[in-house]
C-alpha cells in the first residue's frame, strides 16, 4: 500500500521527459503567490524542483521535499546558485520542518499517491501543520471516472522524449486495477531506448471523489475554498475529470 519509487529513479531522466510540462502549474501558482502576497512556499512532492525553482524568484524562502533521493539530489544540483531555496529528502506522510509557509503546493497529481486513508490523512495533517496564518494549500488530482479507471490489456504507446544521453525513448504503459484498494490504478511503464535497453517501473494512484476529498480535508480541519478543472482555471463542473483545489484552514 506504499507508493513505488521505481518511476522516480533518475532526476535527469525525469527532467528530460517532463521538463516542459509544468508551465500551467507555475503560472497558476505565480498568480496565487501574488494574490496572497506570499513570501514563502513549501512544495510537497517537489520532484526535481521543476515548479519550486522558478517560483522562488520572488520569494524570501522556498523549500521542496520529496521521498526520492535521486530527485532531491538533482534539484539541489540545479538550484546550487539560488540562495533562498532548499530541498530535503522527506516522506510527505511524516515530515516535520518545524516552520510554516504562506503557500503549500502539491503538483503532478502527487495528491493521488497516498493510497491508504491513513497515509492520506497523515499527509493532510502534516500539510496543515506547515500552513501559516491565512496560509493556503494547492493540489491537483484526477477524479474517478470510467476514462481514468480503464483497465488495458497490454502495453500501449504513450509518448516519446530524448534522454539525457541524446537517445530517443519510447514510453509504453498498461493499466491494471490495484489488487487491494478500490478506485486505485497501477500504471505499469516501460521505456524503450534506441540502444535496446528497457526500463520498467510502476506508479500507484488512488482516485478519490470530490466528496471523499472534501470529507478528508474537513476531518483534519481544512476546507476546499476554490476549485478548477485544470491549472488554466477552467471552471469546475460535475463533468470535470480532474480538480485543482485551493484549501484553507477551517
Assess whether 54 and 110 both reside in one domain.
Answer: yes
Residue 144 in grid coordinates: 474517478
Edge-to-edge strand list for the sheet holding 184-193:
156-162, 168-177, 184-193, 198-206
Q: Is residue 114 domain-resident?
A: yes
Q: How far apart are CA 216 and CA 225, in angstroms?
A: 14
> Which residues of the chain fall short of a pLDDT of 50?
none
Assess whether 229 and 108 both reside in one domain.
Answer: yes
- With a CB cutoff of 8 Å and minimum separation 6, the contacts of 249 are 128, 131, 135, 221, 222, 223
Q: Which residue has the cell 489488487?
A: 179
Assess whether 140 and 27 both reside in one domain.
Answer: yes
Assess whether 139 and 24 both reside in one domain.
Answer: yes
Assess whether 82 and 191 both reside in one domain.
Answer: no
Q: Is residue 149 domain-resident?
A: no
Q: What pLDDT score was predicted for residue 10? A: 97
The pTM of the full predicted model, rounded to 2 decimals, is 0.96
Assess whether 66 and 179 both reside in one domain.
Answer: no
Domain of 112, in residue numbers:
6-144+208-249
The CATH number of residue 71's host domain is: 3.40.50.150
Q: Which of 148, 142, 163, 139 is nearest to 45 (CA)?
A: 139
Q: How many structural domains does the chain have?
A: 2
Assess whether 114 and 234 both reside in one domain.
Answer: yes
Q: What pLDDT score was predicted for residue 58? A: 87
Q: Is residue 171 domain-resident?
A: yes
Amino acid at each position: 500500500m506504499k507508493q513505488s519509487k521505481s518511476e522516480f529513479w533518475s532526476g535527469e531522466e525525469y527532467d528530460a521527459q517532463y521538463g516542459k510540462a509544468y508551465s500551467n502549474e507555475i503560472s497558476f501558482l505565480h498568480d496565487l503567490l501574488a494574490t496572497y502576497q506570499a513570501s514563502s512556499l513549501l512544495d510537497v512532492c517537489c520532484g526535481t524542483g521543476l515548479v519550486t525553482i522558478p517560483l522562488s524568484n520572488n520569494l524570501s524562502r522556498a523549500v521542496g521535499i520529496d521521498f526520492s533521493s535521486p530527485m532531491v539530489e538533482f534539484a539541489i544540483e540545479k538550484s546550487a546558485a539560488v540562495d533562498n531555496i532548499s530541498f530535503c529528502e522527506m516522506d510527505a506522510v511524516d515530515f516535520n520542518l518545524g516552520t510554516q509557509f504562506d503557500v503549500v503546493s502539491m503538483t503532478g497529481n502527487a495528491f493521488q499517491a497516498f493510497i491508504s486513508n491513513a497515509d492520506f490523512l497523515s499527509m493532510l495533517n502534516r500539510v496543515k501543520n506547515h500552513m501559516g496564518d491565512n496560509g493556503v494549500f494547492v493540489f491537483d488530482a484526477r477524479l474517478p471516472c470510467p476514462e481514468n479507471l480503464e483497465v488495458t490489456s497490454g502495453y500501449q504507446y504513450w509518448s516519446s522524449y530524448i534522454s539525457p544521453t541524446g537517445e530517443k525513448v519510447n514510453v509504453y504503459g498498461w493499466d491494471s486495477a490495484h489488487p487491494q484498494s478500490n478506485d486505485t490504478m497501477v500504471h505499469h511503464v516501460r521505456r524503450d531506448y534506441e540502444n535496446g535497453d528497457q526500463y520498467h517501473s510502476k506508479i500507484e494512484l488512488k482516485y478519490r471523489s470530490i466528496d471523499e476529498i472534501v470529507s478528508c480535508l474537513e476531518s483534519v480541519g481544512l476546507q476546499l475554498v476554490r476549485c478548477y478543472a485544470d491549472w488554466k482555471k477552467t471552471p469546475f463542473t460535475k463533468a470535470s475529470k480532474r480538480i485543482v483545489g485551493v484549501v484553507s484552514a477551517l
